[in-house]
Chains A and B, each alone.
Chain A
Amino acid sequence: MYDFAYQKPASVADAVKLLGDDPDAKALAGGQTFIPVLKQRLAKPSTIVDLGKLDLRGITVGADTVTIGAMTTHAAVASSEELKAKIPGLQELASWIGDEAVRHRGTMGGSLANNDPAACYPSAALAMDATIKTDRREIKADDFFQGMFTTALEPNEIITSITFKVPQKSAYEKFRNPASRYAIVGVFVAQHANGVRLAITGAGQGGVFRHTAFEQALSSNFSPDAIAGIATPPDDLNGDIHASAEYRAHLINVVARRAVAKAR
């Protein structure tokens, strides 16, 4: 990696100021995406602003919502019994990210801010109509993800927490890239009182997206059969050495049915 200055501010305000004062400064959370990028010399930040000292960890389970601090690790999400009882799909999703080491460093805020088209959390945020809270505002998940590696965040804006609407039933099912274990197709399905939301990650050229045809069918009949006949056009899907767009289109149906079948 290239040389950089290092700062570890004690408050969100200080972090925002450090990032704002220097356009080449960049925030560091768990480093599970950012540090590999630095090691490959694909980024040359002037200053790294480590968010590790900020008080942004923790899981608060309410009656209708669950709020998770941006710096909460995947491991903490995966091991929360309270969360598992409330949103089993979210707990399971976290338990399948990367490996032990990745889960103990990587954070929910980092994952959402990064918006990797193959990352898992963005699908949960969309399917549970999440609100992403930052140092300055609240952003609905539907407005937050704006194409691969692109979000509504301003350059110096810091995610502080994420609030999910607790669904009646939820599940995450992931068809993993055999090599990287990221999602080739990941489906988060959430059955809410006012309808079903279902988001797909890993497959779309524009990153995570809601599958409205599935949502409509499942809202009237929450069963795998309801979507069995709904095909997804491959045109806007990714193709690579692991899976063609056609294979992904097919998998979207398979994975979605499996997610619905196991939703609790």
Chain B
Amino acid sequence: MGFEGIGASVRRKEDARFLSGRGHYTDDINRPGQLYAFIKRSDRPHARIASLQTAQAAAAPGVVAVFTGQDMAADNVGGLPCGWQIHNKDGSPMAEPPHPVIAIGKVRHVGDPVAVVIAESRQAAKDAAELLEIEYDDLPAVATTLDALEPGAPTVHDDVAGNVCYDWHIGDKGTVDAAFARAAKVVKLELTNNRLVPNAMEPRAALGDFDTSSGDFTLYTTSQNPHVIRLLMGAFVLHIPENKLRVVAPDVGGGFGSKIYHYAEEAIVTWAAGKLRRPVKWTAERNESFMSDAHGRDHVSTAEMALDADGTFLALRVATIANMGAYLSTFAPCVPTYLYATLLAGVYKTPAIYAEVKAVFTNTVPVDAYRGAGRPEATYLLERLVDVIAHDTGMDRVEIRRKNFIPADAFPYQTPVALQYDSGNYEMTLKAALDAADFAGFEARRAAARAKGKLRGIGISTYLEACGIAPSAVVGSLGARAGLYEVANVKVHPTGSITVYTGTHSHGQGHETTFAQLISDQMGVPIDQIEVVHGDTSKIPFGMGTYGSRSLAVGGSAMVKAMDKIIAKGKKIAAHLMEAAVEDIEFDKGTFKVAGTDKSKTLTDISLAAYVPHNYPIEELEPGLDETAFYDPKNFTFPGGCHVCELEIDQETGVVEMVNFVAVDDVGRVINPMIVEGQVQGGVAQGIGQALLENAIYDSNGQLLSGSFMDYTMPRANDLVNISVGTEITLCTHNPLGVKGCGEVGAIGSPPAVMNAVIDALKEYGIRHIDMPATGAKLWEILQANRPKMAAE
């Protein structure tokens, strides 16, 4: 056994299982007597359900039941709750229209559930669904973010006038306006952040089970946070107390945020299992994923920077319209507000910032957090704006960044938009990235490419994000209806092996390895004797799950606290066994020593004594070596760094070809460098996908045109390039591990680096801005419409 502790690139323990097809996913679970649910979904973007006849479907062979929204409402089933409340500028709460589990009266997007057919087989359920007689009265639909605010636009919810969910702001408008009034120059940019479909490899699935003897419900589901689902579904939708409801999220094949939320199908199968006294399973088909998994991004913004004569940022003003889709998904309202506008300082010391955000309803799939959630939108806006400032003023894009960086000696740094950064060194990551990308030597490569008829460009993005979410009191004051602490239970077994129960959830991140390394480093136990257990509310004390790059920073810190308790107790046992004072016991990597002597006990000696307490301080100490800790973070963590993208555009076709991508990130202390590299590469792949390829396109009537992999372009290996990942470290100052989080940095930092490179490649065409995705077709049109500046002169 080599070194397996903090800093070792240990191979992932879980991969043997995944790579050999032995993963155990929700759809792999089958319960005796199981039925299958098929959800009939609306093919209309907006319509009144004039009539819905279920009798024929219910009488079809193999069908056990057909349920509608009315049936569920009649049984006191609640609507899907929203977990975050935003307040308008005037202090009033946001509009929160009902979100029925199955549509009642109206359908509001293509994919909205209309009825569920439950049968002995999937085939029978699907066959019977064709016998449902549904008559719709079509209503005019509104699909795009901007259309939603047009006067006279169709309204998605009758009681939400003008489709505005909220009109929110942050920052000091007066100071910002004053700074603009005295600015030497103002640079303005309008930009769109394209809507994305998350497309986790494993489609969502849910299996509801009801134990007729105990009356207990179990839901197996593709979730990133089973306790949150238990809380939301139990308390708000089905009114089942926690002691009667178990939620299990077994192996989950990717989430990227889309599996955070409480979805209708989870409530449908659980409720139906109780009604029918039989297990009920639903598994999404890929086309259902496109129209029922929460989408991501979809902002339209105007950004303005006030500058003084030498390019110092004086103030930033941002107005954003964010598309919520047809209903509020679980965390949707917080994404374009507290996860977005609070990030608008970025890595810059802009002294005054004011942002207004209008969230709108449209007849589209609900939009919620997707890898990065708000922070990619903020980063894209800011890093594009900085490049446009360089373009408009003629200043060097690197120098303008350097000039405005928050200096390394300014931490902790309070931004004008609520956050306080604890640590960072943006010059350090910038320099490392520019060196690694040979930024200085670029012009020679541009010239060489030109000779081959290719337009070569290089782009940078210096970004920061806030993750490790989050201090409960802070998020509570901002509208969160939950705490965001994390929980760990560390059990040292009698013979010294360890099981750790964590409230975080791994759906591709490699927690079983990283957490085992963390425990191993501290406890001196090899990782193959450490089991990491997650995803089952019946085993884990509590937890808030995995998103917002929080698992290590928050969940890992809870483990440290639990281990501290184990060690403190172990010291007392060791002191007793070695007849020494507790203060004299030292613990180091699994060994308890009496200071200044050669007396020592192993962790196994101590655990054995704890569980077989024959010679044990039983009067003052309970037996056992099993501790639980709740950790509530003191602040967000602030990873940051610099991404550099180099690419070429084929002048004849407009197609972009990646040449090089360098990411240098400061994610705090690194537990497993290989896993960090993989996380960053995966995130960058998604970022390149957003910048060049991916686009959820609705036509003006609300039909999703890119509704399958035939039309929605996922990045493939040959769309990418080797993504070189470096890390530079400043430690997080407020958690015991010094870690910041690495899950989202790739998707946050990369899109503006790619777009800045695209626009740099078109330098001589005088292009100032292009919206994502920069497809070949789009760039070709731009090349047609513009002539190189030099040629024209």
Contacts and interface: CB of A to CB of B under 8 A. Distances in A.
A179 B777 contact: no
A250 B777 CA distance: 11
Given A178-B775, A180-B711, A247-B777, A241 B706 contact: yes
Contacts of A41: 126
Interface string A50-62: 0000000000000
Most buried by B among A40, A179, A243: A179
Contacts of B712: 179
Given A254-B652, A254-B653, A180 B781 contact: no
Interface in B702-725: 705-706, 709-714, 719
B119 interface: no
B706 A251 contact: no
B697 A180 contact: no
Interface in B637-673: 652-653
Interface string B684-705: 0000000001000100000001
A40 B707 CA distance: 13
A214 B736 CA distance: 71
Interface string B267-287: 000000000000000000001
A2 B129 CA distance: 13
A247 B287 CA distance: 29
A175 interface: yes
B713 A178 contact: yes
A228 to B, nearest CB: 11
Given A243-B777, A247-B777, A247-B781, A178 B693 contact: yes
A251 B706 CA distance: 22
Among B127, B705, B714, B780, max chain A CB count under 10 A is at B780
A37 to B, nearest CB: 13
Nearest to B127: A2
Contacts of B287: 40
B776 interface: yes
A242 B775 CA distance: 8
A247 B706 contact: no
Chain A residues touching B, majority SS: loop
A241 B711 contact: yes
Nearest to B781: A247
B693 A251 contact: no
Nearest to A247: B777
Given A175-B653, A178-B693, A250-B780, A241 B705 contact: yes
Given A247-B777, A247-B780, A242 B711 contact: yes
Given A178-B693, A251-B653, A254-B652, A244 B777 contact: yes
Interface string A165-194: 000000000010011100000000000000
Contacts of B719: 178
A250 B781 CA distance: 11
A180 B780 contact: no
Contacts of A250: 780
Contacts of B693: 178-179
Interface residues of A, number: 16
B706 A179 contact: yes
A244 B697 CA distance: 15
A79 B439 CA distance: 42
Interface in A231-247: 241-244, 247
Chain B's interface size range is 20 to 34
B709 A179 contact: yes
A120 to B, nearest CB: 16
A241 B709 contact: no
B653 A179 contact: no
A242 B777 contact: yes
Contacts of B710: 179-180
A41 B652 CA distance: 41
Contacts of A244: 777, 781
Contacts of A180: 709-711
Interface in A9-40: 40
Contacts of A175: 653
B701 to A, nearest CB: 14
Contacts of B776: 178
A41 B38 CA distance: 14
A186 B287 CA distance: 28
Interface in B741-793: 775-777, 780-781
Nearest to B719: A178
A245 to B, nearest CB: 11
A41 B710 CA distance: 17
B413 to A, nearest CB: 42
Contacts of A241: 697, 705-706, 711
A72 B653 CA distance: 34
Contacts of B711: 179-180, 241-242
A250 B651 CA distance: 12
A241 to B, nearest CB: 5
Contacts of B709: 179-180
A244 B710 CA distance: 17
A179 B719 CA distance: 11
A242 B719 CA distance: 16
Contacts of B126: 41
Nearest to B715: A178
Contacts of B781: 244, 247
Nearest to A242: B777
A261 B454 CA distance: 18
A73 B500 CA distance: 51
Contacts of B777: 242-244, 247
A204 B777 CA distance: 17
Contacts of A179: 693, 706, 709-714
B380 to A, nearest CB: 21
A247 B778 CA distance: 10
Interface string B213-254: 000000000000000000000000000000000000000000
B22 to A, nearest CB: 21
A251 B123 CA distance: 44
A3 B126 CA distance: 12
Nearest to B693: A178
Of listed A178, A179, A242, A243, residue having the most chain B CB within 10 A? A178
A42 B777 CA distance: 31
Contacts of B697: 241
A241 B712 CA distance: 10
Contacts of B652: 254
Nearest to B714: A179
A203 to B, nearest CB: 13
Contacts of B706: 179, 241
A157 B652 CA distance: 43
Nearest to A178: B713
A254 B651 CA distance: 11
A3 B652 CA distance: 49
B423 to A, nearest CB: 41
A39 B714 CA distance: 22
Nearest to A258: B652
B625 to A, nearest CB: 51
A242 B706 CA distance: 10
A188 B714 CA distance: 27
A180 B708 CA distance: 9
A127 B312 CA distance: 63
Contacts of B653: 175, 251, 254
29 contacts: A2-B127, A3-B123, A40-B287, A41-B126, A178-B719, A178-B775, A179-B693, A179-B706, A179-B709, A179-B711, A179-B712, A179-B713, A180-B709, A180-B710, A180-B711, A241-B697, A241-B705, A241-B711, A242-B711, A242-B775, A242-B777, A244-B777, A244-B781, A247-B777, A247-B780, A247-B781, A250-B780, A251-B653, A254-B653
Given A41-B126, A180-B711, 5 more contacts: A175-B653, A179-B706, A180-B710, A241-B705, A251-B653
Interface of B: 123, 126-127, 287, 652-653, 693, 697, 705-706, 709-714, 719, 775-777, 780-781
A-B residue pairs, 10 tightest by C-beta: A179-B713, A180-B710, A178-B713, A254-B652, A243-B777, A247-B777, A179-B711, A241-B705, A241-B697, A247-B780
